[in-house]
Protein backbone atom coordinates (compact mmCIF):
# COMPACT_ATOMS: atom_id res chain seq x y z
CA UNK A 1 0.00 0.00 0.00
CA UNK A 2 1.37 3.38 -1.01
CA UNK A 3 0.72 6.36 1.18
CA UNK A 4 0.71 9.61 -0.71
CA UNK A 5 1.34 12.90 0.97
CA UNK A 6 -1.08 15.72 0.71
CA UNK A 7 0.58 19.10 0.47
CA UNK A 8 -1.42 21.56 2.51
CA UNK A 9 -0.94 25.28 2.44
CA UNK A 10 -1.30 26.13 6.13
CA UNK A 11 -2.08 29.78 5.44
CA UNK A 12 -4.85 28.89 3.00
CA UNK A 13 -6.19 26.25 5.37
CA UNK A 14 -6.28 28.78 8.22
CA UNK A 15 -8.04 31.35 6.04
CA UNK A 16 -10.62 28.76 4.95
CA UNK A 17 -11.26 27.78 8.57
CA UNK A 18 -11.73 31.43 9.56
CA UNK A 19 -14.11 31.89 6.60
CA UNK A 20 -16.14 28.86 7.72
CA UNK A 21 -16.40 30.12 11.31
CA UNK A 22 -17.36 33.60 10.11
CA UNK A 23 -19.97 32.06 7.80
CA UNK A 24 -21.61 30.30 10.74
CA UNK A 25 -21.50 33.50 12.82
CA UNK A 26 -23.01 35.51 9.94
CA UNK A 27 -25.79 32.95 9.48
CA UNK A 28 -26.62 33.16 13.19
CA UNK A 29 -26.47 36.98 13.08
CA UNK A 30 -28.95 37.07 10.20
CA UNK A 31 -31.28 34.62 11.96
CA UNK A 32 -31.18 36.71 15.16
CA UNK A 33 -31.87 39.85 13.16
CA UNK A 34 -34.89 38.31 11.47
CA UNK A 35 -36.22 37.04 14.80
CA UNK A 36 -35.77 40.51 16.34
CA UNK A 37 -37.63 42.14 13.44
CA UNK A 38 -40.45 39.62 13.81
CA UNK A 39 -40.73 40.37 17.54
CA UNK A 40 -40.63 44.13 16.92
CA UNK A 41 -43.38 43.81 14.30
CA UNK A 42 -45.48 41.79 16.77
CA UNK A 43 -45.02 44.48 19.44
CA UNK A 44 -43.45 42.02 21.89
CA UNK A 45 -40.60 44.33 22.88
CA UNK A 46 -40.35 47.54 24.87
CA UNK A 47 -38.72 50.61 23.32
CA UNK A 48 -35.64 49.99 25.47
CA UNK A 49 -35.38 46.40 24.24
CA UNK A 50 -35.73 47.54 20.63
CA UNK A 51 -32.90 50.05 21.14
CA UNK A 52 -30.67 47.45 22.80
CA UNK A 53 -31.27 44.91 20.05
CA UNK A 54 -30.60 47.50 17.36
CA UNK A 55 -27.35 48.58 19.01
CA UNK A 56 -26.22 44.99 19.56
CA UNK A 57 -26.93 43.96 15.95
CA UNK A 58 -25.16 47.06 14.63
CA UNK A 59 -22.08 46.36 16.75
CA UNK A 60 -22.05 42.72 15.69
CA UNK A 61 -22.27 43.75 12.04
CA UNK A 62 -19.33 46.14 12.51
CA UNK A 63 -17.28 43.47 14.28
CA UNK A 64 -17.98 40.99 11.50
CA UNK A 65 -16.70 43.51 8.94
CA UNK A 66 -13.56 44.05 11.04
CA UNK A 67 -12.92 40.32 11.34
CA UNK A 68 -13.40 39.81 7.62
CA UNK A 69 -10.95 42.60 6.85
CA UNK A 70 -8.46 41.38 9.46
CA UNK A 71 -8.40 37.87 7.99
CA UNK A 72 -8.61 38.82 4.32
CA UNK A 73 -12.09 37.38 3.86
CA UNK A 74 -14.61 39.24 1.72
CA UNK A 75 -18.19 39.25 3.00
CA UNK A 76 -19.32 37.62 -0.26
CA UNK A 77 -16.91 34.73 0.49
CA UNK A 78 -19.16 33.83 3.42
CA UNK A 79 -22.15 33.02 1.22
CA UNK A 80 -21.54 29.38 0.35
CA UNK A 81 -22.97 28.01 -2.89
CA UNK A 82 -25.10 24.97 -2.06
CA UNK A 83 -25.61 23.96 -5.67
CA UNK A 84 -29.24 23.35 -6.58
CA UNK A 85 -30.36 24.65 -3.19
CA UNK A 86 -28.94 28.09 -3.90
CA UNK A 87 -26.76 30.03 -1.50
CA UNK A 88 -26.52 29.57 2.24
CA UNK A 89 -27.15 33.16 3.23
CA UNK A 90 -30.28 34.87 1.99
CA UNK A 91 -29.64 38.07 0.12
CA UNK A 92 -30.80 41.15 1.96
pTM confidence score? 0.73
Q: What is the pLDDT of residues 51-87, one digit of tens each?
A: 999 999 999 999 999 999 998 888 888 887 878 877 7
Domain boundaries, the chain: 10-75
25, 64 contact by CB (below 8 A)? yes
pLDDT at 7: 66
Query: Between these two residues, 6 and 43, which has the higher pLDDT value?
Result: 43
Rg (CA), the chain: 18
Query: Between these two residues, 2 and 50, which has the higher pLDDT value?
Result: 50
User: How would you classify residue 87: left for phi > 0, otherwise alpha for psi between -120 and 50, otherwise beta?
Assistant: beta
Closest of 29, 89, 88 to residue 61, by C-alpha = 29
Mean pLDDT computed over 10-20: 82
Closest of 36, 17, 22 to residue 64, by C-alpha = 22
Amino acid sequence: MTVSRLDVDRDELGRDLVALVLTVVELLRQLMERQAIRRIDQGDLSDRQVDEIGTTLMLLDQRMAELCEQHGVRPEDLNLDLGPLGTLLPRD
